[in-house]
Amino acid sequence: YAGVLDFIQPPLMLGSLLLLPFVFVGIIKDIVILFICAGLVLQFPVTFSVVLKTKKLKYILLILVNFLRAYARGLGLLLGIIRAKMLC
């Protein structure tokens, strides 16, 4: 069920969030932009396969939905780590 992209996206998007407070420090802004752009580009394969399969251009919106989903999964990952540490 889960592919490589499903394991790459959440930490990547979480990294962009965690680096936001430091965006004015040197090269951090470029790293945040890189993470966000990579997160968007990683949505293309699945989205385009759905658009081609259904022949409906409206499914191009999956780029945005899956992009936001990657952030939600990243935050869930962080919460899971925090909760696991609290149980130890």
What are the pLDDT digits (tens) for 31-78? 999 999 999 999 999 999 999 999 999 999 999 999 999 999 999 999
pLDDT band at 5 (very low <50, low <70, confident <90, very high): confident
Query: What's residue 73's pLDDT?
Result: 96
Residue scoring higher pLDDT (45 or 88): 45
CA-to-CA dists, residue 56 to 53, 67, 69, angstroms:
8, 19, 21
pLDDT band at 21 (very low <50, low <70, confident <90, very high): very high
